[in-house]
Amino acid sequence: MTQISTASEGNAEFALQVRQAIQLAMYGTTQVAVLLIKFDELKHPLGADSQTSTSFGNAIVLRIRNGLRESDTVSLLGNGQIGVLLRLVQNPQDINLVITRLLTQHIEPAQTNDEVVALAPRIGVGVFPDHSETANGLLDRARNDLAQAIAADKTHNVYIPQTKGRIASRLWMKELRQAIVKDQLFLTFQPKVSLSRQQVTGFEALVRWQHPEHGIIMPDQFIPFAERTGLIIPMTLWVLQRALQQCRAWNESHLDLSIAVNLSMWNLEAQELPEQIEALLRDSGVAPKNLELEITESSIMNDPERVIRTLKKIRELGVGFSIDDFGTGYSSFAYLTKLPVSSIKIDKSFVKNIEADRDSSVVVKSIIDLGHNLGLKVVAEGVENVQTMELLRNFQCDEVQGYYLSRPVNADMATKFLLEYGTAATDRQTTIPVDRPPANPLH
């Protein structure tokens, strides 16, 4: 039976359904379409908080449902619009046929409790992957298309299929999936250094792609695509597995340190994530305390309550959490005391300017004080010179990370770095000098 959502479920639920439909379509040849419908001159706006409005809205939703397939979804949105999600679209031209059918359905007036209403629908459309590969992108496209139709006094704009972008997207997705399967990905490691002990406390694992034709591809070129397509989920599991294997190798060499891995919003939405992490820890033999997962403010704020539940399950395993790029969001302060995090990482956009920019310096010092007052460890990333490091030391920042200490390097060079400067658990007392970068081949 065709699914129907009410206005009380709102835009967030509809967006989640769109996101899930896109994720499924990524692994096939079908398309996904989002239609946003708005009716002109209604006495009782759809979604308004009244019995008449609710009754009328449900009647319109039922009418729309009759023109759809069992797999499609109709949602009465809270902004006076109706959202239609078309899954498993086989032929792009079918979208225009559905639009025509919906318009035909509304030729006849609709009956409310107290009057007969002539309907004047306007329809906006967004199609995956032609218009966007994300739920927000499709919804934005549909909203813009709806606004254009209203401005032009048209019922809708005819959808014209695009093929070039879709084919390129499919090829890129196929290559990236093969990169995961064929071990074309590899890890680099960037150290985190304690300012008080001047010793390495752990590494952040960062993924790279060794493309057979294009050489090494940096993460900013393929991670956003992996996040849009859902490939970030298997990719992150791959990174976790390899990072834990390397951490075990270091631990077996009596180098007791942690390994940090980044999680995306997609990872946090997977209900099975706690069980997957537990299995990876068990298989690797790494103690949970030696794994730290880094999450961003944006991934938290997408669905805070759900994320908090997921994080708490993982935290119960003994795994640590850090908020990455802290300071670039706008809402995490409200949830910071609720999140089971043990540290925050100040975004490098603030750190790199603290010598010359007083505002950046004040922000960094304030974040450090806030973190300490909440009992959190504070890490500053993006340290590129000794002056920045010394200023952070004066601010009593706990740890630093950046090119001044070391660029991300392969496991062998990271091990050399460890053996030269030691960790908090080793007997070596050699410390990282404060007047120059370490004398090693990592630069």
Neighbours of 277 (CB within 10 A): 23
φ/ψ region of 266 (left if φ > 0, alpha if ψ in -120 to 50, else beta) reads alpha
Quote the pLDDT of residue 177.
85
Q: In the predicted model, what is the mean pLDDT of residues 177-205?
A: 91
Angle at 388 between CA 383 and CA 392, to 5 degrees: 95
Q: Which residue has the higher pLDDT, 278 or 134?
A: 278
User: For domain 169-421, is the CATH number 3.20.20.105?
Assistant: no
Write out pLDDT tens, residues 244-297: 999 999 999 888 889 999 998 888 888 899 999 999 999 999 999 999 999 987
Task: Give residue 1's pLDDT.
Answer: 46
Residues 345-398 have pLDDT tens digits of 998 888 988 988 888 899 999 999 999 999 999 999 999 999 999 999 999 999
Longest dimension (CA), the chain: 85
pLDDT at 104: 80
Q: For position 222, what pLDDT does the model report?
A: 84
Instruction: Compute the residue count for the chain.
Output: 443
pLDDT at residue 424 is higher than 90: no
Determine contact, residues 400/198, Cβ cutoff 8 Å: no
Residues 434, 389: Cα–Cα separation, whole Å: 8
Q: Are 379 and 202 in contact (CB under 8 A)?
A: no
pLDDT at position 158 is 80
- pLDDT reported for residue 55: 66
Place of tokens 């906006």: 124
Is residue 129 reached through a cis peptide bond, with omega within 30 degrees of 0 on the bond before it? yes
Q: Confirm if 363 and 353 have CB atoms less than 8 A apart.
A: no
Average pLDDT of the residues in 332-355: 82
The band of 242, judged by pLDDT with boundaries at 50, 70 and 90, is: very high
Q: Are 428 and 421 in contact (CB under 8 A)?
A: yes
395 — alpha (psi -120 to 50), left (phi > 0) or beta? alpha
C-alpha distances in Å from residue 273, one per residue of 233, 239, 294, 317, 339: 10, 14, 14, 12, 17
Is residue 438 predicted with pLDDT exceeding 60?
A: no
Answer whether 418's CB lies under 8 Å from 255's CB: yes
Q: What is the pLDDT of residue 164?
A: 46
Q: Where are the domains of the chain?
A: 3-162, 169-421
Which segment, 94-108, 162-176, 193-207, is predicted with the most confidence on average?
Answer: 193-207
pLDDT at 170 exceeding the cut of 70: no
Q: Summarize pLDDT for 209-236 with one digit per residue, the tens.
A: 998 887 888 888 788 778 767 788 899 9
pLDDT in tens, 14-64: 888 998 888 777 656 678 999 999 887 555 555 545 555 566 677 778 888
Is pLDDT of 130 > 90? no
Instruction: Report the pLDDT value the prediction gives residue 380, as an integer from 0 to 100.
Output: 95
Confidence label for 173 from pLDDT (cuts 50, 70 and 90)? low
CA distance 19 to 22: 5
CATH of domain 3-162: 3.30.70.270
∠ Cα 311 315 316 (to 5°): 120
**pLDDT at res. 436:** 40
More confident residue, 111 or 21: 21
Query: Dihedrals φ, ψ of 75, to 5°?
Result: -130, 125
SS (H, E, C) the chain: CCEEECHHHHHHHHHHHHHHHHHHHCCCCCEEEEEEEEECCCCCCCCCCCHHHHHHHHHHHHHHHCCCCCCCEEEECCCCCEEEEEEEECCCHHHHHHHHHHHHHCCCCEECCCCEECCCEEEEEEEECCCCCCHHHHHHHHHHHHHHHHHCCCCECCCCCCCHHHHHHHHHHHHHHHHHHCCCEEEEEEEEEECCCCEEEEEEEEEEEEECCCEEECHHHHHHHHHHHCCHHHHHHHHHHHHHHHHHHHHHCCCCCEEEEECCHHHHHCCCHHHHHHHHHHHHCCCHHHEEEEEEHHHHHCCHHHHHHHHHHHHCCCCEEEEEEECCCCCHHHCCCCCCCCEEEECHHHHCCCCCCHHHHHHHHHHHHHHHHCCCEEEEECCCCHHHHHHHHHCCCCEEECCCCCCCECHHHHHHHHHHHCECCCCCCCCCCCCCCCCCCCC
Of 208, 236, 212, 206, nearest to 222 by C-alpha is 208
Number of Cβ within a 10 Å radius of residue 165: 12
